Structure 1
Amino acid sequence: MEKDAEKLLVQLQILNQQLQSILTQKQTLMLHITEIDQAVEEIKEGSGKVFSIIGPVLIEKDKKSIKKDLEERKEETELRIKTIEKHEKMLKDKIKEIQEKFAEMQPTLGTSE
């Protein structure tokens, strides 16, 4: 029985590490969306030339095309966040399931069979 509990604890640790990793990814993507929103706002309010970075080169572009590019990036990023959120929910459900199994085992741990 203790070996089963050890297995569950190892699984729980692995799942928690995976959860932490995807939460970090999600936070990074959400920060990226904030940056995109700020860039779009600057383009709307700004009254100068607008440039885009392509590799190591800055290229002048019109505001419309840069705004469109930013909106597309935002949509792609939002889709990635939704995918991560589905994975996050699945991991949380699995963690809860393992925690419940472990809690059920607690009364029997330490007793010899």
Structure 2
Amino acid sequence: MTNVAEHRIEIVPNRHRVRVIQYGVTIADTVRGLTLSETGLPDVVYFPREDVNMTRLMRSDHTSYCPYKGHASYFHLQTEDGTVENAVWSYEDPLDTTAAIKGYLAFYASRVDRIDQTS
């Protein structure tokens, strides 16, 4: 188990174009993303809501809590092939140490077809 003092979170601007694609449809497309690096976890790209097709998302009742980031809200992803449950999360009121991701959205890579990062 990671000691709190050893746990690190770093949030930096992602200088690349990042897209989320599901069944050939672009759900998110940004050059203004943030990459969050956290001890023991893969890097995650957070997307500004303005760069996400919000009409494809439906708020879920599911929530979770991270002692390093705070309470997360979830969204289902609506596709032509049905609903992908809790595919997206957001820290709408994160802890002060992660305030940069407030309101941004992140996608589970395992629940979408692709998250592409290009130059």
**Shorter-chain TM-score range:** under 0.3
Structure index of larger Rg: 1
Q: Which one has more relative contact order, counting CA pairs under 8 Å at least 6 apart?
A: 1
TM-score, length-scaled by structure 2: 0.20
TM-score, length-scaled by structure 1: 0.21
More helix by share: 1
